[in-house]
Amino acid sequence: MNQLALGEAAPPCAPLTAQDYKSNYKPIWCPGCGDYTVLSSITKALAALQLRPEKVAVVSGIGCSSRIPAYTACYGFHGVHGRSLAAATGLKVARPDLTVLVASGDGDGYSIGGNHFLHACRRNVDLTYIVMDNHVYGMTKGQPSPTTEPDWDSKLAPGGTGLRSFHPLVIALASGANFVARAFSGDPNGTADILARAIRHPGFSFVEILSPCVTFRPEQRGWKERVHGAPVEATDDPARAARRIMTDDGFNLGVLYAGDRPAFPGPARAASASIADIEAEFAP
């Protein structure tokens, strides 16, 4: 290794590119899956912010979306179904120096992980929660998910479920999320911009990304014709944001709410034991 002479200035580091955040694993999503461009948007956002890969952790649960950690060159944790936010909260509180992203899908995040979603919003720990919503359980062959339309007809639910769809943005706002936005996987640059803003924003940031599953919901190819920019700027007024979200058509894109609630500061006291102490206690 070359050593710098005393007083010699270190050469400037080359700026990180989106490619620097990608692992050597090749994604294996279905052809046409929106998650490909979500991955690209995440790496573009990290490059835009010039965050060192070793200072970023990506946490996931189970599902197609939860492959994301393996496809990045950052630290990753692939946890159990619906528990990604619990793992990410513990990580961020223990290591506030890390930027923590959480990747999920509508089944993982809103059904199995629904309770964790509510309380993560309420706690307002400084995380960025990315939910790739395709209104179906894609990994397990197309069952209706919490955001599936009540009249969506399929082999597994003939005639539809008849159940009212879960409204994640309203739930996030009502539960205390500090940043609420919607993006579309077919707009990778716009999605990257929203993700960068979400990562920078203090507190719990929630970004719903409409990410078509063209294998089990081929009609979602038409989403690219339906999405449109939000007609107004982001607001810090929860009541105004709620009216906006409740009256939109589900295809408004952009930052819909950006609050100023202070992020959860973490434990006030230092840990009473180190990892070495705990390991020593359990050693045979």
Residue 271: pLDDT band (50, 70, 90) is: confident
| Beta bridge partner(s), residue 57 | 75, 100
Q: How many CB atoms lie within 10 A of CB 88?
A: 29
Average of per-residue pLDDT values in the chain: 92
> For the purposes of burial, counting CB atoms within 10 Å of the CB of 118, is it exposed (0-12), middle (13-18) or buried (19 or more)?
middle
Residue 6 pLDDT > 80: no
| 22 compared with 12, residue with greater pLDDT | 22
Give kind and range of the element (H or E) at residue 86: helix 84-94
First to last CA, the chain: 42
Under 8 Å CB-to-CB from 246, ≥6 apart: which residues? Answer: 167, 170
Q: What is the pTM of this model?
A: 0.90
Please give the Cα distance from 233 to 252 (Å, whole number): 12
Report pLDDT for 13. Answer: 76
Q: For 125-151, what is the mean pLDDT?
A: 95
Report pLDDT for 7. Answer: 54
